[in-house]
Copies of this chain bind each other. A is one copy, B any other.
């Protein structure tokens, strides 16, 4: 049984969430758009494999985040011999613009072209995962550049979530969680003036779940009553 790895690599650009797709040059589904990936080799685990294939095929070496999404295993998901796929969610920061080959391009996830196989399902699943994780993890740090103004960060969050976000609230929520800190630098004001914005950066390296997002927390003052 063949096992393949696929990745929905997402980024935020021009106020939309985009996914990296490449146009199939072979049957079946010639001309349709599909996710990068390929066969799992015998000597690598799935995460190593997807990182290798992304680096080889589409020149995305500096993904800011990669995580498992789900296994897609419907027997007829691709024509011909059985192929089980492990799908990944990948994230690229807004400021990097990796060179991509001729046959690949970024597409808005809200306006996908004709996709191959079950890849549309995978893309939408990846988008939903990203949105959900913005609430309770530091995955925003994978979307944002190394340093940014609060307005820029608000635009990223707004685009990823699909609705307007308050800059004031965003700053307070992230600051309270201790994942945001000012760099001390100041960004030059825009062409139309306005107060120069302070630059911020995420304090965390990597994406992790924020503690204290959970409900039904453990008791604060350890009363050792028998429940």
Given contacts A1-B3, A40-B84, contact A216 B135 (CB under 8 A): yes
**Chain multiplicity (copies):** 2
Question: What is the bound-complex CA distance between A168 and B219, given in angstroms?
Answer: 13
Note all chain B residues with C-beta closer than 8 A to A227. Answer: 154-155, 158, 164-165
Q: Are the C-beta atoms of A46 and B73 separated by less than 8 Å?
A: yes
Partner of A71, one of B71, B155, B170: B71
Question: What is the bound-complex CA distance between A134 and B137, given in angstroms?
Answer: 17
Closest to A71 in B: B86
Interface string of A148-178 (1 = CB under 8 A from B): 0000001101100101111001100100000
Partner of A216, one of B71, B74, B82, B169: B169
Question: What is the bound-complex CA distance between A227 and B42, given in angstroms?
Answer: 50
| Closest chain B CB from A28 CB (angstroms) | 19
Question: What is the bound-complex CA distance between A136 and B215, given in angstroms?
Answer: 7
Closest to A39 in B: B1
Closest to A170 in B: B216
| Closest chain B CB from A43 CB (angstroms) | 5
A45: interface (CB < 8 Å): yes
Most chain B C-beta atoms within 10 Å of own C-beta, residue among A73, A82, A161: A73
Closest to A151 in B: B227
B-contacting residues of A (Cβ < 8 Å)? 1-3, 40, 42-46, 68, 70-71, 73-75, 82, 84, 86, 132, 134-136, 154-155, 157-158, 161, 163-166, 169-170, 173, 209, 213-216, 218-219, 225, 227
Ranked 10 nearest A-B pairs via Cβ: A164-B227, A163-B218, A135-B214, A45-B73, A46-B73, A135-B215, A71-B86, A45-B74, A1-B3, A43-B75
12 A-B residue pairs with CB within 8 Å: A1-B2, A3-B84, A40-B84, A45-B75, A68-B71, A71-B86, A161-B218, A163-B218, A164-B225, A165-B216, A169-B216, A213-B215
